[in-house]
Chains A and B, each alone.
Chain A
Amino acid sequence: MPGCLYDAEWIKTVTGQLADAALAEPVEPGDIVLAGVRTRGADLAERLAAELASRGHEIPVALLDVTPYRDDLAQGGVKALKGGTQMTMSIDGKLVIIVDDVLSSGRTARAAMDLLMDFGRPRIVRLYALVERTDRELPIRADAVGAQAETGPGDSVRVHLSETDGVDEVVIEKKEGN
C-alpha cells in the first residue's frame, strides 16, 4: 500500500539544501568532487552540480558504477552493469561527496567507497542522499539528507527522477503489518 509521498517540489528544495551543505563543508569549493552512484544518484549529482553552478561554483561530477563492487554478486543471478565508471578528474586530496537517491542498508555506499579508493585517496568522503532509511545494515550514515524514513524489512522506498522515470517523486510503500 503506497504511503508517504514526496513530490517534485520537495526534491527541488532538498537539492538546494544539499547544495547549501556542500558549500558549508570545510574546504574550498574548488576541492569538491561530486560522485553520483549510477543510475539515479548520478542524475541527482548532475542536478546538484547544476544548482551549484547557478550559484557560481563549477563542481566536477564523477559517475560511479558500483556493480562490480557489490557484496551480493554471488546471490540471485548475474547483475547488469550500469555503463561503467566515468572519472576524468583526480580525487587525491579532494572532498568527495557520494550522492545517492536512497541510503538503505549502507552496502551501496560501502561499495562506492571501495570504488573511490581504487581511484585515489580522497582527503574526506561525505555521503549525501535524498532519503535515509532507518533500517541500516552497516555502520554507515548520511552526512546530509532530505528526510529520514522509518522503515523495516519488506518496506520499499523508491525515488523516481524525470531523467530515468519521467517523473520526480519519492514513493514509500510499507509492507502489510509493518
Chain B
Amino acid sequence: MEWKRKHLLGLEELSAEEITTILDTAASFQEVSTRSIKKVPALQGRVVVNLFFEASTRTSNSFALAAKRLSADTMSFSQSGSSVSKGETLIDTALNIEAMGVDCFVIRHSAPGAALLLANSVNSSVVNAGDGPHEHPTQGLLDIYTIREAKGRIDGLKVAIVGDIAHSRVARSNIWGLQKLGAKVTVAGPSTLIPRGIEAFGVEVSHDIDEVLATSDVINILRIQLERQERRNFPSIREYAQIFGVTQERLSRAKKDILVMHPGPMNRGVEITPEVADGDQSVILRQVTNGLAVRMAVLYLCMGGGGGGKPVDN
C-alpha cells in the first residue's frame, strides 16, 4: 500500500500506485454502506469540516456522510450566512475554525489553487472538493472506480469525456487519473469548449459524437453549464443537444457494453436524454454510491487512518 500524504489536492501529483491504493481502500469500505448500522469507528472523535464556498448538494452531502460512516464528527460551513460576507478571508476563516479543534477541511472554492493555499496555511488535513476549473480529485477517483468496477481494469480502455471540457475540473481530474492508469482518453465537444493545445496532455480531440461513441468503452458526459450560455460558446442549447446530445438512437450505434457516465447534475434533454440516463448502460447512480466509498477512503487515508501522524511533505 502506498500512502503517506496528509492532503488530497489533485490527481496530477499522484502516482498510479497511490491512486490504486485509494481505489482498493474504497473497495474495502464499500460494504459499510450496506450494513444496517452504517458505521465503523475508524475516525471516531475526529472532526471533518466542510468548507464550501460554492454551491453543492451532491459533493458536500457525500463528504459529510462519508465522514459520519467513519464515526467522525462533521461541521458545515457555507459562504452565505458566514462572516465571509463581512469580508473575512479564506485563511482567517479556516484558522478560526481550526482554533476550535478540527482535523480535516474539505474545501470547495471558485479559485484554482484555493485548496493548496489552505493546505499551506493550516495544520489540518485538506481535501480538495473542487477548486475552480482546476481539479475535483474525488470525482475523478469515483469515476475511475466505477469504470474499474464495471470493466475490471483501466489499462487499455478508451474513455471519452464529452462536453464543456474547457471549464471542467471533472475533466481535468479524470484525464490525469485515467492516463496514469493506462487509459486512452478522448475529449469531445464544440471547439469553443475544448481548450486549444489540450493535445499536449496526451488526449485526442474529437468534434464528432458519433465517431466517439463508436470507438469508446466509456463515455463520461459532462453537464452543459447553461448559466455560461450568455458567453455564447455555442449558438443555442437546442443546437448543442442536436449535435452533441447523447440519445438512445446514437447510443444504439455504440459498443454494446459501453459505459455511460455523468457526474451530475444532469440537464435531461440537453447533453443526455432521459432514456439514456435511466437506461441499461448508465452507471450514473452507481457513481454516486461509489462516491461514498471513495470519500471514506480519502478521509481515512489522509487523516492517517485515525491519527494525524506527523505532517508530511505534500
Chain A, residue nearest B306 (CB): A73
> Does any Cβ of A come within 8 Å of B309's Cβ?
yes
Q: Check A78–B3 contact: CB distance below 8 A.
A: yes
- Residues of chain B within 8 A of A75, CB atoms compared: 307
B231 adjacent to chain A (CB < 8 Å):
no
Alpha-carbon distance between A73 and B41 when the two chains are bound, in angstroms: 10
Query: Using Cβ atoms and an 8 Å threshold, which residues of chain A touch B36?
Result: 119
The answer to whether A83 and B27 touch (CB under 8 A), given A68-B40, A68-B42, A69-B40, is yes
Pairwise interchain contact B41-A84, C-beta atoms closer than 8 A: no
Q: Mark B19-36, 1 if CB is under 8 A from A, else 0.
A: 001001101111110011
Task: Name the distance in Å between B305's Cβ and chain A's nearest Cβ.
Answer: 4
Q: Is A175 on the interface with B (CB-CB < 8 A)?
A: no
Taking the complex as formed, is A57 at the interface, i.e. its CB lies under 8 A from any CB of chain B?
A: no
Q: Give complex CA distance A118, B35 in Å.
A: 9
Cβ of A51 to closest chain B Cβ, rounded Å: 27
**Contact indicator B304/A77 (Cβ below 8 Å):** yes
Interface residues on A, range: 20 to 34
With a cutoff of 8 Å between Cβ atoms, the chain A residues found around residue B145 in the complex are none
B39 & A84 in contact (Cβ 8 Å cutoff): no
- A68-B40, A114-B41, A118-B39 given; A84·B305 CB < 8 A: no
Residue A89, interface by CB 8 Å: no
Closest beta carbon of chain B to A115's beta carbon, Å = 8
Enumerate chain A residues within 8 angstroms of B21, measured Cβ to Cβ. 80
Counting chain A CB atoms within 10 Å of each CB, which of B4, B39, B304 scores highest? B304
Interface of A is mostly: loop
Instruction: Tell me the minimal C-beta distance from B39 to chain A in angstroms.
Output: 7
Q: Distance in Å from the Cβ of A22 to the closest Cβ of chain B?
A: 26
Known: A73-B305, A78-B305. A83 touches B40 (CB 8 A): no
Contact with B along A115-158 (1 / 0, CB 8 A): 00011000000000000000000000000000000000000000
A78–B301 Cα gap in the complex (Å)? 6
**B70 contacts chain A at the CB level, 8 A cutoff:** yes
Q: Are A80 and B1 in contact (CB under 8 A)?
A: yes
- Complex CA gap A77/B35 in Å reads 27
* B300 part of interface (Cβ distance < 8 Å): yes
Q: Which of A69, A82, A85 contacts B41, CB < 8 Å? A: A69
Q: Does A86 contact B (CB under 8 A)?
A: yes
Whether A119 pairs with B29 at a CB distance below 8 angstroms is: no
- Who on chain B is nearest to A66 by CB? B40
CB <8 Å contact, B3 and A86: no
Q: Are B37 and A118 in contact (CB under 8 A)?
A: yes
- Residues of chain A within 8 A (CB-CB) of B30 are 84
B305–A79 contact, CB under 8 A?
Answer: yes
A84 to B40, CA, bound (A): 11
Chain B residues, CB < 8 A from A69: 40-42
Q: Which residue of A lies closest to B69 (CB)?
A: A68
CB-based contact B35/A82 at 8 Å: no
A65 within 8 A of B: yes
B 303-314 to A, binary, CB cutoff 8 A, 1 in contact else 0: 011110100000
Q: Which residues of A contact B40 (CB under 8 A)?
A: 68-69, 118
Residues of A within 8 A of B3 (CB): 78
- Chain B 199-232, CB-CB to A under 8 Å as 1, else 0, gives 0000000000000000000000000000000000
Q: Determine the chain A residues whose CB is within 8 A of the CB of B28 once the complex forms.
A: 65, 67, 81-84
A-B contact pairs, 10 of them (CB 8 A): A67-B305, A68-B42, A68-B300, A73-B305, A83-B27, A84-B32, A86-B31, A114-B41, A119-B35, A119-B36
Residues of B within 8 A of A (CB): 1, 3-4, 21, 24-25, 27-32, 35-37, 39-42, 70, 300-301, 304-307, 309
Residues of A within 8 A of B (CB): 65, 67-70, 73-75, 77-86, 114, 118-119
Extra pairs beyond A78-B1, A118-B37 (7, CB < 8 Å): A77-B305, A78-B304, A78-B306, A80-B21, A80-B25, A84-B31, A119-B36
Which 10 A-B pairs rank lowest in CB-CB distance, beginning with the nearest? A73-B306, A74-B307, A81-B28, A68-B40, A78-B305, A68-B42, A80-B1, A84-B28, A84-B31, A73-B305
